[in-house]
Chains A and B, each alone.
Chain A
Amino acid sequence: NAGVTQTPKFRILKIGQSMTLQCAQDMNHNYMYWYRQDPGMGLKLIYYSVGAGITDKGEVPNGYNVSRSTTEDFPLRLELAAPSQTSVYFCASSYHDRSDGYTFGSGTRLTVV
């Protein structure tokens, strides 16, 4: 099992550009999550999904969009990149009805200039 795979690992965007952060898991987890991590601020939930076709907003959804067409994939879309979106982004997944905690990907470091 690869676990949770995120691509790319690093990216520099110009203000106003768009991009998609990819996330895939091979553990047949129902739940998937996107977090951003800013220095000294811990992990903030952007969006989450409880299964294919179902997504919902987290604490800081503005400026982002997600889709969940399959159980395995949960891409995060930035439409108009802003400097405030400079951060490290983590995708995670978990089972539905077991409090097992999350399995995290290795992260995408995004810089918007």
Chain B
Amino acid sequence: GENVEQHPSTLSVQEGDSAVIKCTYSDSASNYFPWYKQELGKGPQLIIDIRSNVGEKKDQRIAVTLNKTAKHFSLHITETQPEDSAVYFCAATTTYGNNRLAFGKGNQVVVIP
């Protein structure tokens, strides 16, 4: 089955700096890669996603890049703000089976004011 790994497990950045979280996946058939943000006491919320036919996608201060050859994708947050502090999960799915997502273990991002 799909194996998704995230690095680093914890990331601290100064407010205004950029943060980058990288995920690797194992299933070459994976075709959809979402990122979720989980704030304290809440459920994960989809913040950005990318499909396998696209190399990069941006939405204001966040972007996701995908390298299918190397089987990794990354979340980029620019001009970080204190409200960006959260746990971020990456996930990957495939065309096989039934639209299930395999999640990474999550990254704790701390933005220092």
Q: Assess whether A84 is interfacial by the CB under 8 Å rule.
A: no
Q: Assess whether B42 is interfacial by the CB under 8 Å rule.
A: yes
With an 8 Å Cβ cutoff, the count of chain A residues facing the other chain is: 24
Contact A99–B93 (Cβ < 8 Å):
yes
Contact A101–B101 (Cβ < 8 Å):
yes
Residue from the list B44, B49, B104 in contact with A104, Cβ < 8 A: B44
Pairs A-B, 9 closest by C-beta atoms: A104-B43, A42-B105, A99-B32, A101-B34, A43-B103, A101-B46, A106-B43, A104-B44, A42-B103
A96 to B99, CA, bound (A): 7
Contact count A vs B, C-beta below 8 Å? 55
Residue from the list B36, B42, B91, B105 in contact with A106, Cβ < 8 A: B42
A-B contact pairs, 17 of them (CB 8 A): A40-B105, A40-B106, A45-B100, A48-B100, A90-B43, A94-B99, A95-B99, A99-B32, A99-B51, A99-B93, A101-B36, A101-B101, A102-B34, A104-B44, A106-B41, A106-B42, A107-B42
Q: Assess whether B31 is interfacial by the CB under 8 Å rule.
A: yes
Q: Assess whether B98 is interfacial by the CB under 8 Å rule.
A: yes
